[in-house]
Every structure is written in C-alpha cells, then in structure tokens.
Amino acid sequence: MAIVYSRKDRTFTIHTENTTYQMQVDPYGFLLHLYYGRRTRGCMEFLLNYGDRGFSGTPGNSTPSRQYSMDFLPQELPTSGTGDYRSPAVIIENSDGSDACDFRFVKYEIRKGKYGLDGLPAVYASQDEAETLEITLEDAVTHVRARLLYGVLPEYDIITRALILENRGEGRIYVEKAQSAVLDFVSGDYDFITFHGRHTMERNFLRTPVAETAQVISSRRGMSSHQHNCAAILCEHSANEDSGKAYALVHVYSGGFKCEAEKDQFNNTRFQMGLMDEKLRYPLDNGESFTVPEVIMSYSSDGLTRLSQNIQDCIREHICRGKFKLTPRPVLVNSWEASYFNFTGDVLVELAEQAHQTGVEMLVMDDGWFGSRENDRQGLGDWTPNEEKLGGTLGQLVQRINDIGMKFGIWVEPEAVNEYSDLYREHPDWAMKIPGRDPVRARDQLILDLSRKDVVDYLYECMKNILDSANIEYVKWDYNRNIADVFSLKTKDQGRVLYDYMLGLYDLLERLNRNYPNVMIEGCSGGGGRFDAGMLYYTPQIWCSDNSDAIDRLRIQYGTSFFYPISSVGSHVSVIPNEQNGRVTPLETRALVAMAGSFGYEFSFTKISDEERKKIGDQVNIYKKYAPLIHGGRYFRLTSPFEDPFTAWEFAARDESEALVCVVMNEVHGNNPTRYVRIKGLEAGAMYYEETTQGTYPATVLAEVGLKLPVEMGEYHAYMYHLVKVSN
C-alpha cells in the first residue's frame, strides 16, 4: 500500500519507492503537513514546534493557548482568516462578504488507481500503477468543502495534488485564490530555481536563495507564458545535478499561474503553486464546485538530474497520450523559415521533393495557406484553403505531397482572429473585447472567446472540415498573443472567464484527439510560450522556441529539460546567419542541437549546396538510428550553457548498454586548455567502446575524469560520441 492511514496518530502517510509524504489531523481538526523527503517510517509529529509567539493568533474553537497558531504550523491547505499571515493557498469571498475560511477535517477515502479531473488535463495511470487519497475538509460556518486529492505513482517517485472546492452552503461564494499544491517546510535554507524568458529566449535558468520575502513567479497573460515557465524547484543550497535535496512543482495547466516561495519570520518555508489569482473570481452557487488544476510533485535526495528524470518520465508516460507518445516522430521540413507567407503549391511540392531525397519524412505547410492570409495582419479565422495559391484543393496538394512519399502536416491558429477577416466581420462579438473600449491588439489579432461553447463548437467544425478534406497526419497548433481584454458577453462574472477559456480550449483539443487519433498535434505559441504539462496532455510535442539558433537553443533546451521529456521538444535546423540573432554556426552543430528533441529542418532546400544536401542525408540517418535512445533513454545534463565553456548532454540507455553524448563548444580562447566531459549513467566497472575515437574505456574513468575533447580552432564545434558496453 502506497497510502497508509494510522488511526492511532491520525496520520496519512504516502510512500513512493524513495520518498515519504506525511500529514496529520491535529486535535482541532486542522490538516497539518509533517514531512516530505527521503523514504522513512514512523510519525513525524515530533518536528512540530509550539511556542508562545507574539502577534500570532489562535484560531477559534481550539483550546485557548498562546502556543498554538496557524501562523507557524505547517499546513496542507492554508486559508485566509485563520490567523496565518503567510500567503494562503485558498481565498474565498463568502456570501456575507467576509473572506474567513477555516477548513477542518471531515473524512477521507483511499482508493486504487489515479483520480481524474473533469475537463482538465491530469496524470493518468492504470489501477495497478497508482493510488488516490481524498481528504475532505469543511468550514463549519459556510459549509464550503475542500476535497484534497493526492495521486501516487510509487515507481516514479511522483505525488500529484489537485483540489475541488464545493459550495454546500446557501449563498453564492467566489473563489478568489486557489493553489492545489502547498509544501510547508519547518526549515528555511533553500534555493528557488525558476525559468524566466521572453519570446525567442524562453526558460532561462535562475537560482536564487529564498529570502524573508515572498518570491513569486507568475503569468497574468491568460497562458503559461514565455516569461515564466509554470514549474519550479526548491532545493537545498548545496544541491547540484548529482546530490542534494530537491523538490519540484509542475503545474498541469496552460493558463495563468502563480508559484510562491516564502521564508517566514520563524524560518519556515512555504512553496506553493496554483492558479493566477488576479482576475480570478469564480462564482459558486449552492451545489456547485470548482476544480483547481493539478500539480505534479517530486522529491529527490540525489540532486537535480534525478528530480528531472522523475518528472520527465511521468510527463512522457502519464501525461502525453495517444499513439505517438512513445514512438519517434517523423523527421519534418517546415515551410515557415523556408518561405514565410511567400509560397505556392508548386513551391511546397518542390520543397517536399528535395527534402524527401535526404530522408525527411513529412512536409509541414505553415502559416499563409488560407483565406486572405498573405501576411500576419489579415485572414486569421478564415479556415478555407486558398486554392488559387495552393494550385488546387487542399486534398489535391496533400495528394501531390503523399505521391512523393512524404506525409503532410498543417499549421493552424484556431484561438485567434484578425479583424480583417470574414469571421470577424460576421461575428465581432466572438472576439474578447471590453464593450466601449478599443481592444488591445497584438500581432494585429484578437483572441476568440473560447469560454463560449458556441465558439468552441464552431472551431471544432472548422478543424473537422480541414482534417476530413485531406490526408493530414500532423497539426501545428499555434497561439500568438496573450489575452489582455478579459471579457465575455456570455457572463456577468468576468472573474470566471480566463478559467472557462482554458476549459473551452481543452474541450476542443480533447474532441480532436478523440476523433482524430491518427493525427498528431504539435503545440506552439510563438515558439514555447505555452510549453507546459497541460498542453502536453493533448499535444505530445511542442515547438520549443521561435529561436532556432543552435547556441541560444543550448540555453533554451537546457531550461526545458528540467521538467519536460526530450520527446516533447520540437527543434529544427535553420539557415545561417540565423534569422533571430544573426549568429553563424556549422550545420553539424545546428543538427546536433536539434536532435535533442523531435527533429526537423526549417529552410529552403533549393538554396543549399550538394555538400550540405549530403550532410543532411547523413544527419537524418543518424537521427533515425538514435531516436529510440534519444527519446526513450535517461537524459543527463553534463554541463551548463550558463556557466561552462562547453555544453554537454547525454542520453543513456536504461539498461546501461549504450549512451549518446553530445558536446557543443560555446567558447574558444587562445591556447585552450584540454577539456574532458564526464559521462554519467554507465555501468560502473564496465568497459565501453566509443565509435568516433575508436577507443575502449572504463566507465569508472569516464565518470571520474571524462572523455577527452578535441582542441580545435573556430567557434561552435560539435561532437557526438556513441558508447556501447562491451562484454568483459
């Protein structure tokens, strides 16, 4: 049993293979958090400290004691109005206008299998792989209930949390803040690792000590955002890739979020993740409930690599779905950086023909194929193929591509509309705008109101018509702006709109997944602006960044790897000088970096030399050969692109039989010292043969000292080493 209730101590203990999580119902019915860390047993109540603390209040109903206060006790679901002045997980506006909420224990249930969440993405598992613990708390005055859901996947060292708030009282209440995961620690020496960025430079690693102030990362953009990824780590100061205690929280949601790390006056640390509370005011009448999105948690006492592997494996195998989740994806060529809006059917056929000769398997027709879409100021919303431009129907074009032996993929951006479009002229009320105000435009587009079912139904029909009209095997689902005008004509409660928008989007994607199981959807949002575990439930791969420069990508993909599996990372080779930053890098380097993901090309094959064409053919073969290892192996970050002169990473077979090590030199200097790359994930004591250097090496020495790297003139050289275990 992964979940154990002790009647004697009133503790709930959750065990995974290497971790233990414990909470306790205290004498007053509060659900306290006792422990999350390395696997252990016993009751951890002894960790609690009761002291006479000035200005810390005692909640009503508890024995009057100046030594008992929610202001310092570690809790599972801190709320406002109990005397805890730290940041609460839940704020509810009651029908009398107050915000007091005093949740006490009512009941619990332990069941086999993993809970699911209506209308929201969540980790899934078979009955034998997981268990669920549901604990119900209630406020005795308002009769609002909190159902805390814990899902356990013992083999993965994963515990998930979600929360359902139910109004069982008379009047209407409003949910104003809702975080489903809170970790209260009785110590205060942690670092907060977060991933910040911007369009074309997502997920930069940032590590700061948690101080006596709330550190917050969030998105108020209606999407998880380029600016902060919705996942974070709390770790001890000394933790590194290979050792030390570290905790991860990963939001399984694609809308706004808030993650806080706060050290309090008594050196306790609160780490929590959940919905963005600004613009949240979700109404609940009697009998209604609100489901707070899930958060995936993991703990590692063996450092950050292990923590990342736990999360990556969970997302790859228990978030991603469908027939593509574990299969290598087709190598593709995308028309965007090849020709932007400037293409015809013939241009695409020629691109497909040339790419096919190198072994590329799929052509993706990007933006510009529909309505009046000749540039990004018009046509969005009109999902009718521009037959004049394509030289026939969409079906005919796809047939021409298929005849070459290539699969066909298509770009769409269903959630947005240009004002210059037939759709907007017909349904101006479907776009999110605040009546009487000029809307905020971004990329000359507005967002459609997906909180409305009629809009979602319409978009489903549009997508259905496209997918039914041709043999389309892949869809790139884009989303190129943030929501600014939060307003829906369908409701008076604008505080529900952003959440309902996400339910609408998920409903649309769910219907497409269900009815088109042979079509793979790739997520995208100006590159990686919506790279999150919520989207990965519907789209097992996401275009990682609009920045395709290999050297910037080292940082972007390094940051992405802390939580997301390699199979989820869309990455392509593009032209030099790079179109986002002008950098020039060798073709080999661009390919090596793009191979750390779902691989493809994004340039015009007509403009390349024969030598480059030959190299591309070799690259495609190498990728196809190693794709099972790249996607199915264990991923190791060997160095950091933020700190080290070379960036190295590795895919190691789970049975330690082989490993692929990739290295990019990001700095050269005069009289360069010799560098060694230390290799991980090999069988200690075994010998490995490496193909490029044609040497046989002891794994122990490769781990202790490393493999010697060449000293070469020139910038940005890349090296790939394939190690195979030899029998002793």
Please give the Cα distance from 409 to 390 (Å, whole number). Answer: 14
600 alpha carbon, distance to own chain's centre = 21
Q: Which residue is nearest to ligand GLA (CB)?
A: 367
Three-state DSSP state, 151: strand
Choose, from 353, 507, 510, 612, the residue flagged as catalytic: 612
| Residue of 93, 532, 546, 552 marked catalytic | 532
Closer by beta carbon to ligand GLA, 312 or else 598: 598
Least separation in angstroms between residue 373's CB and ligand GLA is 9
Least CB distance from residue 327 to ligand GLA, whole Å?
23
Nearest to 440 by CA among 491, 479, 481: 481
- Share of the chain residues as helix, strand and coil, in percent rounded to the nearest 5: 20, 30, 45
d(CA 528, CA 227): 10
Strand positions, DSSP E, 486-540: 520-523
> What minimum distance in Å lies between the beta carbon of 74 and ligand GLA?
43
> Among residues 523 and 633, whose Cβ is nearest to ligand GLA?
523
Paired sense of beta strands 11-15 and 3-6, if any = antiparallel
DSSP 3-state of 386: coil
Cα distances (angstroms) measured from residue 33 to each of 13, 72, 183: 10, 12, 8
Structure tokens at 676: 């060694």
For 600, list phi and psi in degrees, rounded to 5. -175, -175
Distances 442 to 12, 302, 482, 526, 708 between C-alpha atoms, Å: 49, 44, 8, 12, 49
Cβ 481 to ligand GLA shortest distance, Å:
10
| Closer of 308 and 545 to ligand GLA (Cβ) | 545
Catalytic (active site) residue 317: no
Q: How far apart are CA 171 and CA 286, in angstroms?
A: 7
Residues that bind ligand GLA (CB under 6 A): 336, 366-367, 376, 411, 478, 480, 524, 526-527, 543, 546
End-to-end Cα distance, the chain: 41
Question: In the bound complex, what is the minimum distance in angstroms from residue 543's beta carbon to ligand GLA?
Answer: 6
Nearest approach, Cβ of residue 233 and ligand GLA (Å): 27
CB 593 within 8 A of CB 557: yes
Q: What crossing angle do the helices spanning 345-357 and 394-404 adopt, rounded to 10°?
A: 20
191 is catalytic: no
Nearer to ligand GLA, 76 or 602 (CB): 602
- Quick one: 411 or 564, whose CB is closer to ligand GLA? 411
| CA neighbours closer than 13 Å in the CB half-sphere of residue 574 | 27
Residue 380 backbone class (left: φ over 0; alpha: ψ -120 to 50; beta: rest)? beta
Buried b (16+ CB within 10 A) or exposed e, 143-166: ebbbbbbbbbbbebbbbbbbbbbb
In the complex, what is the shortest distance from the CB of residue 213 to ligand GLA, in angstroms, rounded to a whole number?
36
Q: Are 262 and 269 in contact (CB under 8 A)?
A: yes
What is the nearest approach in angstroms of ligand GLA to the Cβ of residue 412?
10
Nearest to 328 by CA among 456, 520, 505: 520
State the minimum distance, in angstroms, from the CB of residue 340 to ligand GLA. 8
Q: Which residues are catalytic?
A: 532, 612
